[in-house]
Chains A and B, each alone.
Chain A
Amino acid sequence: MVNIPVIRWGEEYESLETQELVHHATGDIIGTQSMANGGLITRDMRKAQQARDILKQFSIEELVEKMGKAGDLFVNGNLSIGDSEQTPQDFIVQQSATTGLPEHMVELGMSKNAFVMNNMGRIIDALTRGLPLDILSSGWGKEARGIPVSYQCQTPILAAVLPSNSPGVHTLWLPAVPLQIGLVLKPGQKEPWTPYRMFAAMVAAGIPKEIWCLYPGSGAEIGSAVLSKCKRSMIFGSKQTVDNYKGNPQVQAHGPGFSKILIGDDCVDNWEEYIDLIVESIYINGGRGCINTSSIWASRHTEEIAQALAEKLGPIEALPPTDPKAGLAAFTIDGMATAIWDSIKDDLDEDGVTHVTGQYGDRLIEKELCGYIRPTIVHCKSPENAIAQKEYMFPFASVVECPEDKMLGTIGETLVCTGITNNESLRNQLIDCTEIDRLNLGPVPTTKLNWLQPHEGNIIDFLFRNRAFQVPEELL
């Protein structure tokens, strides 16, 4: 039983309001977390500048080195979390228990986070396109070609309102610390584990605790307090959340990805070659990520593609989270799996929509305290079918029949697009398509991330402003 406090600039604060952390399947209480109130954040944020001042006492290179150590500790160390010591195995069991993720996926997520921490120097170098790092610290410097350049930091702290269901997103805020920017995090109500373990690992690696605030609490109150008091925030939520913050330069909103695989007419007759790639893109990490494929588009063979995917994915069972073969994560909110399945059933009634995985048994698995939905593949005769544009947090995909020349005008927002084609014209159209964020040209799974590439906007551009800057020649 672990008791997790609020962290206010590194200091523990025991709230009089607590929330139990409950095992999704057994109902066992495995810990409690203190719940912050919004006023605490308003008051604490007055001291936000101190976080940057403290971090600027270290060079970016020093912080990168400490991040590397923190990455090792995150994966291997026994760390102090609240009033308990947490081994790596404790972390795996605890995160799996409250989020419903299989334990082996938690372990994989740990290694991803650690990889990013261990390779922070390379990642920052890639994100800054090789900018001398002291320019980010001092605000200006000189490029190799002798021209003054300025990157003005826009905030002393980065805030993030984090989700309960996707431990993978933590890699997105990690670069803030080596960039000398403090952290203000609202953990997901069921997933305090990663932020607190990151905090403990960084402190143990020598990064001052005073640059951290962690505010567990209610989404509405704490989330809005964080977003209103911080100059740069990330939020993770639904499409509605993303739409709410569209155009707000202070908020980077991350939501569903609607990631897709498009197969050009020149390759589609060889569709069988791509089935494993498509299966991986739909299924890996429980199908929960915004980078998981939610639809596959082709002009022909779509029914055969759907059948082939159903054969591979349809038989997959909901296994206990401790099973190394478990590929599905539980829906831990009461009634959520049922509600999602009911919504899908409504869409399945539409003309032109065929549920292909039905032959492999019921999809909805209702347990006493949680639910699962087994992988679901749907065939759509037209992009007009409503379900062609849906995304769910389990392995779900629509195979959409659509003429090649109509695809790019129809796909809509797409976080990751894998375009399988050798047709130069189609490739150029894919490159030019502004609906697509991350583009894979060629047979690359949508889920394959290159950490040296920006994800949903470059964090450097979010945290710094590249502005005009002039000084007399002698100062250069």
Chain B
Amino acid sequence: MSDNLDQSVSDAKSKLDAHTHEIVQWHFHESTGSPFWLGKKAELNFDPLTEVKGFDDLKKFPLFEDEWLRGGPVNRWIPKGLEGQPTFVFETGGTTGIPKSRVVIEDHRLDYEMFSETLPDKYFPKGANWLMLGPSGPRRLRLAVEHLCQHRGGICFCIDLDPRWVVKVIKKGWMDHLEEYKKHCIDQAITVLTAGHDIKCMFATPKLLDQLATALEERGTSLPEIGITGIFSGGTEFTPQWTRYCVEELFGGPPEESGVYMTPTYGNTLMGLACSEPVTKENKYKITYHAPQPRAATEVVSFDDPNELVGYGETGRVKLTTLTRELFIPGFLERDEAEREEPHEMYPWDGVSGVRPYHVFAKSTTVGVY
């Protein structure tokens, strides 16, 4: 690590510690905290207000259980300091039973505005219109992408896509229905793309991006030809091999040759959006994500001890911490595993690479069209 990077890493750590202290004060102070955390405070064997001074002190909290997010009243998650503001509720899962929900006031906007700063204007031109080729309904992603587009001065066109129905169809083994539903989604996308809306950028899930590119080719055109220059995508299926396949076979080459730039991301309803270091053929399309510190942090921890970081390059479970005024999550074990990566000049804190479903859960996970 260079001296400059060392300094940046140290600065980032200090910033994270200070931010952690501020956020914990906010969530556990009687005047500003949420009913949920103020209630939990009584169960803790320490006082967060006096004993959490930095990020490492968050280990004193028990792991966050996402089951706590199931059901109502969702108002219990709204900090008193933010009461009365227009509030969204976003859901995750929900194919069967009560979904997990998260209330949001403006986090999704802030997260995607930060993400916007990482997008190259050459391929994501300001003022360009976008296509959101992903899930609709009570999803954070749907509104966040639309805000990203609007933030950059464009108008976002969307499709209807119900991921819960997709998972049900897969579980029922109705593969013909699945194919038809995918076609239904792609038909909507092609209708929008060929209707003269001057769309240059898009969000797409990996599977739908693949389907769209193939469908366009079958109609004698392509993503570059139809005017797409910037693609933002994400998910655990976003592997180096899949990225290479997209670049080499769907786009027709790297951005400088094909005119199409794709950036992978990693995120969920609880966290903002982790951005990727530049992905190139030279680094074998390796994808390394860095969380939007200090608003969120990702760590790679031992499978046996969630408070123990693994060494750089080693494999472990992805642990997420969210530290915003709207949401406090002191350590949540994601359903993913990955390798721990060194800090990068653009993101001077730890990253994660090779993200994939946690091997213990992988056998039972249903990956749908999105």
Partner-B contacts on A (CB < 8 A): 15-17, 35, 37-40, 42-43, 224, 228, 244
Can you show 26 pairs from A to B with CB atoms below 8 A apart?
A: A15-B241, A16-B239, A16-B240, A16-B241, A16-B244, A16-B285, A17-B239, A17-B241, A35-B241, A37-B239, A37-B242, A37-B245, A38-B210, A39-B214, A39-B242, A39-B245, A39-B249, A39-B250, A40-B245, A40-B249, A42-B210, A42-B214, A43-B214, A43-B249, A228-B175, A228-B179
- Bound together, the chains give a CA A15 to CA B274 distance in angstroms of 26
Q: Is the CB of B175 within 8 A of A224?
A: yes
Chain B residue nearest in CB terms to A224: B175
- Bound together, the chains give a CA A37 to CA B285 distance in angstroms of 15
Q: Is the CB of A37 within 8 A of B241?
A: yes
Q: Please, how many residues of chain B have a CB less than 8 angstroms from a CB on the other chain?
A: 15
Q: Is the CB of A39 within 8 A of B210?
A: yes
Extra contacts, 18 of them, besides A17-B241, A42-B210, A228-B179 (Cβ < 8 A), are: A15-B241, A16-B239, A16-B241, A16-B244, A16-B285, A17-B239, A35-B241, A37-B239, A37-B241, A37-B245, A38-B210, A39-B214, A39-B245, A40-B245, A40-B249, A42-B214, A43-B214, A228-B175
- Residues from chain B with a CB closer than 8 A to the CB of A40 are 245, 249
Of the candidates A16, A38, A40, A43, the one having the most CB atoms from chain B within 10 angstroms of its own CB is A16
Chain A: minimal CB distance from B267 (Å): 22
Partner-A contacts on B (CB < 8 A): 173, 175, 179, 210, 214, 239-242, 244-245, 249-250, 284-285
Chain B: minimal CB distance from A66 (Å): 32
The 3 closest A-B pairs by CB, nearest first: A16-B241, A17-B241, A16-B240
- Residues from chain B with a CB closer than 8 A to the CB of A15 are 241
The interface residues of chain B, by DSSP majority, are classed as helix
Chain A: minimal CB distance from B354 (Å): 10
- Residues from chain B with a CB closer than 8 A to the CB of A16 are 239-241, 244, 284-285
Chain B: minimal CB distance from A45 (Å): 11
Of the candidates B173, B249, B284, the one having the most CB atoms from chain A within 10 angstroms of its own CB is B249
Chain B: minimal CB distance from A339 (Å): 13
Of the candidates A37, A39, A43, the one having the most CB atoms from chain B within 10 angstroms of its own CB is A39
- Residues from chain A with a CB closer than 8 A to the CB of B179 are 228
- Bound together, the chains give a CA A224 to CA B250 distance in angstroms of 20
Chain B: minimal CB distance from A159 (Å): 16
- Residues from chain A with a CB closer than 8 A to the CB of B239 are 16-17, 37
- Residues from chain A with a CB closer than 8 A to the CB of B241 are 15-17, 35, 37
Chain A residue nearest in CB terms to B173: A244
- Bound together, the chains give a CA A224 to CA B173 distance in angstroms of 12
- Bound together, the chains give a CA A35 to CA B244 distance in angstroms of 13
- Residues from chain A with a CB closer than 8 A to the CB of B240 are 16-17
- Bound together, the chains give a CA A17 to CA B245 distance in angstroms of 11
- Residues from chain A with a CB closer than 8 A to the CB of B173 are 244
- Residues from chain A with a CB closer than 8 A to the CB of B284 are 16
Chain B residue nearest in CB terms to A34: B241
- Bound together, the chains give a CA A314 to CA B214 distance in angstroms of 57
Chain B residue nearest in CB terms to A227: B175
- Bound together, the chains give a CA A42 to CA B241 distance in angstroms of 15
Chain B: minimal CB distance from A44 (Å): 10
Chain A residue nearest in CB terms to B214: A42
- Bound together, the chains give a CA A228 to CA B175 distance in angstroms of 10
- Residues from chain A with a CB closer than 8 A to the CB of B175 are 224, 228
- Bound together, the chains give a CA A17 to CA B240 distance in angstroms of 8
Chain A: minimal CB distance from B245 (Å): 5
Chain A: minimal CB distance from B232 (Å): 19
- Residues from chain A with a CB closer than 8 A to the CB of B242 are 37, 39
Chain B residue nearest in CB terms to A228: B179
Chain B: minimal CB distance from A22 (Å): 15
- Bound together, the chains give a CA A201 to CA B240 distance in angstroms of 33
- Residues from chain B with a CB closer than 8 A to the CB of A17 are 239-241
- Bound together, the chains give a CA A42 to CA B244 distance in angstroms of 16
- Bound together, the chains give a CA A377 to CA B214 distance in angstroms of 53
- Bound together, the chains give a CA A67 to CA B117 distance in angstroms of 61
